[in-house]
Copies of this chain bind each other. A is one copy, B any other.
Amino acid sequence: MERQVGAEESKLCRKLGVFMRKCVFRILSVGVIPNHIAFILDGNRRFAKKHNLAGEGAGHRAGFLTLMSLLKYCVELSVKYVSIYAFSIDNFKRTQNEIRYLMDLMLEKMELLLREDGFLSKYGVRVCFIGNLGLVSEPIRVAAEKVMRATSKNTRIVILICLAYSSTEEIVHTVEETCLVTKKTQPQAFKPRNPQNDVTEDADEHKNKEKNTIKLVDLEKHMYMGVYPDPDILIRTSGENRLSNFLLWQSSNCMLYAPEALWPEIGLRHLIWAILNFQRHHAYLEKKKKQL
């Protein structure tokens, strides 16, 4: 009997919590809601150490639950894009054991998410993987492609999972792509030099440079992130105020927020605080954009 009352109380508390959250979100939505929030998930290992969590990757498992909660809040808030720095190219330099564990965990979670009654279909989440997928193992790549295909019709929110990603690699890749396409469409831009005319060509180099057909827009459209809007807020946990090679090109006018909480400790209050700060600066930023 006592247990039943306890369960009822807990259910009531949960419902009250959801109601309160919805009220807060309704108030927040009076202001401008960011279109795109990016997260750097920092502090999973430190969380496991701090709480003496046993078992390999216990911190990352806790971090995954946090991620799911935050994604749910973002859906409820009508945020349209969420980017996640899941695994950087530099992370490949970690121990083989750790990489293997993280990849296994990712595979397990992708399979879980793919279940028809799962999170992705329930919340209308479209998943896109961003990065050099040629660097990850075959099973991960296949699973990632499967998730992308399976969710390609969902339209409520787009989750951009940056896997085997680094901003500098993205830019180098973009340059290669741009050169290849420019070569195809405007071969004269890359006309090879005639060694006999070297002197004349050297003199004309400045002119050629002026004519060079690679432009900012050309580069932008070949970025992995090219078709998505730039983030409005970038949240990095653990109080680390660094971008660590994440969305460098895209976060030029993005508000950075670095709460002290480790990733698994981040919660609703941090998200609300970030959005309030964004709203506080939004009018000023818009005014500035018009001034510029």
Contact = CB atoms under 8 A, between A and B. Distances in A.
How many of these chains are in the complex? 2
Contacts of A209: 176, 180
Interface string A207-226: 01100101110010000000
Interface stretch (A53-61, A76-84, A145-153, A188-196): A188-196
Contact of A180 (B168, B208, B242, B244): B208
Nearest to A174: B175
A8 interface: no
A29 interface: no
Nearest to A236: B256
Contact of A183 (B171, B184, B190, B249): B190
25 contacts: A94-B291, A169-B216, A171-B219, A172-B215, A172-B216, A175-B175, A175-B214, A175-B219, A176-B214, A179-B212, A180-B205, A180-B212, A187-B192, A187-B193, A188-B192, A192-B192, A242-B252, A242-B254, A242-B255, A242-B256, A243-B251, A243-B254, A243-B256, A244-B252, A244-B253
